[in-house]
Amino acid sequence: MAIAAFSNTVLGQANSPGRNTETIPLKIIVVPMTKEKEDIRTVLEADISKRKLVSTVQAGFDKVGVSTKDFVATLKEAQDAKLFNTNTQSDVKSALLEFSGTDIYVDAEYDVKPTSSPRGKVADVILKAYDVATGTLYAVANCTSGEFYDVNADQLIDAATRRPPISYGDKPSNVPCLEEFANTVKTKFADMVQHGRGIKVDFSLDAVAARNFNSKLTVDGKQVSLSDMIDDWLADHAKNGNAHQQGITPSRLIYDDVRIPVYDERGRNFRMSKFGQQITDYLATKGVKSEPYIKNGGLYITIKS
């Protein structure tokens, strides 16, 4: 695995005045895909070709201006910090991603298959880029080597990533598959910086809550419903005012796409937990007690009173 960082030229970021918007540092971690019962902490030691795949993906990001950091050192830091207190692989991966401080992670896997020819082989390399904070899929590359004779897995991985991706359109790409993928990731990240990170925000009522979302509260001398109060706050504080309400009932209020800044006004990563705390702090000023928590890349807020 490897962590990568580069200065990416992006469009302006209205909600982050403290950051130079011409040098937004994208941080990427490349993670080898693991199968059931494989340990992400040791998988590279067991498969030399997976190490080759990770280093090849690193080189692809280097080519488009990404400087990489050796993953082994980062993993050692996490182990020295006693980060892993569970053997559940999903928890280990989540903890590792959070510890890495990265924006996007890339799952990388390969598959070598024999062809109909006695000595022929073909390799498929699949790369998927996800937003670390939400798990949103941002880019996918399906690279194939084509048929080769008397070659090993490492050579096939090289061939697959250097060959243009298969195109079913009228204008096939001439850009190597890995390079095209890396550029797509950069573009998606720049778009996220400009338009905000999309998250789900789900409001619900505690069993003992004394009010529902139709209940009236006094805001600036006017009587408004709890749902309208929340809606107005989100419109004022979401990135560029983008907060899409999916549905509402007296006991549930769901927003399927609320855009929050990638960075705060001081140029630091803007965490989903901070946005949740801002909401609960505001509700508290109106006499509404609430509690936020994060699950599966979404923000959930329970109204307690």
3-7, 190-194, 269-273 — which is least confidently predicted? 3-7
pLDDT band at 216 (very low <50, low <70, confident <90, very high): very high
62 vs 156, higher pLDDT: 156
pLDDT at 3 over 90: no
Q: Looking at residue 300, what is its pLDDT?
A: 97
Q: Looking at residue 297, what is its pLDDT?
A: 86
Q: Looking at residue 45, what is its pLDDT?
A: 86
Q: Tell me: the pLDDT tens digits for 173-186?
A: 788 999 999 999 98
Q: Hey, what amino acid is at 234?
A: L
Q: What is the mean pLDDT of residues 262-278?
A: 90
Q: Looking at residue 166, what is its pLDDT?
A: 67
pLDDT at 143 over 90: yes
Cα 299 to its chain centre, rounded Å, is: 15
- CA 232, CA 226: separation in Å to the nearest integer? 10
pLDDT at 89 over 80: no
Beta bridge partners of 298: 200, 295
Which is nearest to 50 in space by CA: 132, 150, 123?
123
pLDDT at 16 over 70: no
Per DSSP, 282 falls in state H
Q: Tell me: the pLDDT tens digits for 271-296?
A: 999 999 999 999 999 999 999 999 88
pLDDT at 72 over 90: no
258 vs 164, higher pLDDT: 258
pLDDT at 49 over 50: yes
Beta carbons within 8 Å of 103's beta carbon, 6+ residues apart: 26, 27, 28, 131, 132, 133, 189, 262, 269
Q: Looking at residue 8, what is its pLDDT?
A: 43
Q: Looking at residue 177, what is its pLDDT?
A: 94
Q: Looking at residue 148, what is its pLDDT?
A: 95
Average pLDDT, the chain: 86
88-97, 188-197, 250-259, 288-297 — which is least confidently predicted? 88-97
Q: What is the mean pLDDT of residues 158-184?
A: 82
171-177 contacts: CB < 8 A, separation 24 or more? Answer: 176/60, 177/125, 177/141, 177/142, 177/143
Q: Looking at residue 18, what is its pLDDT?
A: 39
Q: What is the mean pLDDT of residues 30-45?
A: 85
- CA 42, CA 87: separation in Å to the nearest integer? 12
Q: Looking at residue 171, what is its pLDDT?
A: 61
Q: Looking at residue 82, what is its pLDDT?
A: 84
Q: What is the mean pLDDT of residues 239-260?
A: 96
Q: Looking at residue 86, what is its pLDDT?
A: 67
Task: For the chain, give the number of residues.
Answer: 305
Structure pTM? 0.83
